[in-house]
Amino acid sequence: MSFTIAVAGKGGTGKTTFAGMIIRYLLEKKKGPVLAVDADANANLNEVLGIEVKGTIGQTREMMNEEVPTGMTKDVWFEYKVQEALTESQGFDLLAMGRPEGAGCYCAANTLARKYIDMLTDNYPYIVIDNEAGMEHLSRLTTRDVDLLFMLSDSSRRGILTAGRIRNLIRELKLNITRDVLVLNRMSGALGEDLLEIVKEQQLELAGVIPADEEIYRYDLDGIPTIRLPDTAVSLQAAWAIFDRLIK
């Protein structure tokens, strides 16, 4: 049985870097192989992980009405293309969902996508999903339940309110998420009572705080995948403390 971890949050909160930290943690704890799913239309999880994307599920859906060879069923073709889009690496594989569909009906393609992604994910003990804030992309393309959802926010009132709206949207979509928690990322200074009060008002479970880290900014600037951060990085140490408590 796979344990599925998802990451959501408004843009600019560092959720993709955080997803990379989860993957690194799982690999260092020898909990792999891990399937990383980039469910953000603005896909860049591969940059955090230091690998090139081979293809996306979105591209496969776009091609389905045009490129299925004569004599091959759409089911067989689609399964082949999903496997082809999987980017393999040391200890983990990456599947990029790609951009949302364009005009026209994609019902058949989305049905096949749900079927084969669920078949694929059964092969991994851990799945890490980097999501769009609203999580509609995940809802459309996979029926997989989520065991642990990290909602990332910065140290602003607006960021925490956004996390609260994400949690409410999850309830509206009736997504099956066992546990959802808030992580305050890129914090400068101590956590004040004013922020704690907003967290309480939004009825969010605060899992921890990750301080702002110059190492991350430097790695980003130099084009170095942040999955290679040194063990001494303050952000990594804070994230590890959260993961030790919450990831089984």
Residues 158-189: tens digit of each pLDDT: 889 989 988 888 888 788 889 999 999 999 88
CATH of the domain at 112: 3.40.50.300
Cα 155 versus chain centre, distance = 21
- Residue numbers of the domain that contains 122: 3-246
Longest dimension (CA), the chain: 66
Q: Are 60 and 34 in contact (CB under 8 A)?
A: no
pLDDT tens, position by position, 182-235: 999 999 888 889 999 999 999 999 999 999 999 999 999 999 999 999 999 999
pLDDT of residue 145: 81
Share of the chain above pLDDT 70, in %: 88
**Mean pLDDT score across all residues of the chain:** 85
Cα 245 versus chain centre, distance = 19
Indicate the number of domains in the chain.
Answer: 1
Q: How many other β-carbons are positioned within 10 Å of the β-carbon of residue 125?
A: 13
pLDDT of residue 143: 45
3-state secondary structure 69-133: CCCCCHHHHHHHHHHHHCEECCCEEEEECCCCCCCCCCHHHHHHHHHHHHHHHCCCCEEEEEECC
Helix (H, G, I), strand (E, B) or coil at 245: helix
Where residue 106 falls among pLDDT bands split at 50, 70, 90? very low
